[in-house]
Amino acid sequence: MDVTSFGIDHERLLRGIYVSRKDTVGNGVATTFDVRMKEPNREMVLDTSVMHTIEHLMAVYLREHPVWAEKTIYVGPMGCRTGMYVIFKGDLEPQDVAAVIRESYEYMAAFEGEIPAAKPTMCGNYLDHNLGITKIECRKFVDEVLSCLKPENMVYPRQNG
């Protein structure tokens, strides 16, 4: 049942939405998605301030979503700075979440105003945000990847595969 990202070939990995792992938790399953915004080792990585702003905005978008709020467990940045992890309740595939992930990026690309929870009482590094570049990165990801997902943007390339 459990699927892990071990053995994926990062040299051939593209941008997209991948199942990083599925974990059995109690009687249910939690699916961790690899929302890969940059081709590993071939593209410039995301700025930490941009990943931080995406973390705040995507978390708010999903936690206020009429359908997905109750399924959303976690949103957070990858240490390698090439994408985000999003964990949902349920045994899910990229096709199941492609629409809501795209909507969340459209929301971020169009976001105006104050970044939610970017205050010293609510955030561990509240000055380290960059909404302007976040909007550019999110627009680019929608236009170049999320609006035209192909199988290779949803299935991991395997080592020796």
Compute the least distance from the CB of residue 60 to Zn ion, in Å: 11
Interface mask toward Zn ion for 120-149; x: CB under 5 A? ---x--------------------------
Residue 92 touching Zn ion (CB under 5 A):
no
Compute the least distance from the CB of residue 121 to Zn ion, in Å: 11
Compute the least distance from the CB of residue 123 to Zn ion, in Å: 3
Residue 98 touching Zn ion (CB under 5 A):
no
Q: Kindly tell me which of 54 and 146 has the beta carbon lying closer to Zn ion.
A: 54
Q: What distance in Å separates the CA atoms of residue 118 and residue 103, rounded to the nearest whole number?
A: 22
Q: Kindly tell me which of 92 and 123 has the beta carbon lying closer to Zn ion.
A: 123
Distances (CA, A) of 55 to 2, 16, 124, 155, 158: 26, 17, 13, 24, 28
Q: Which residues fall within 8 angstroms of residue 36, CB to CB, at 6 or more apart?
A: 13, 14, 15, 16, 17, 18, 82, 83
Q: Nearest to Zn ion by Cβ — which residue?
A: 123
Q: Kindly tell me which of 85 and 91 has the beta carbon lying closer to Zn ion.
A: 85
Residue 48 touching Zn ion (CB under 5 A):
no
Q: What distance in Å separates the CA atoms of residue 39 and residue 14, rounded to the nearest whole number?
A: 5
- Sign of the alpha-carbon torsion through 73, 147, 91, 76: negative
Q: Kindly tell me which of 87 and 123 has the beta carbon lying closer to Zn ion.
A: 123
Q: Kindly tell me which of 15 and 135 has the beta carbon lying closer to Zn ion.
A: 135
Residue 76 touching Zn ion (CB under 5 A):
no
Structure tokens at 95: 């096709």
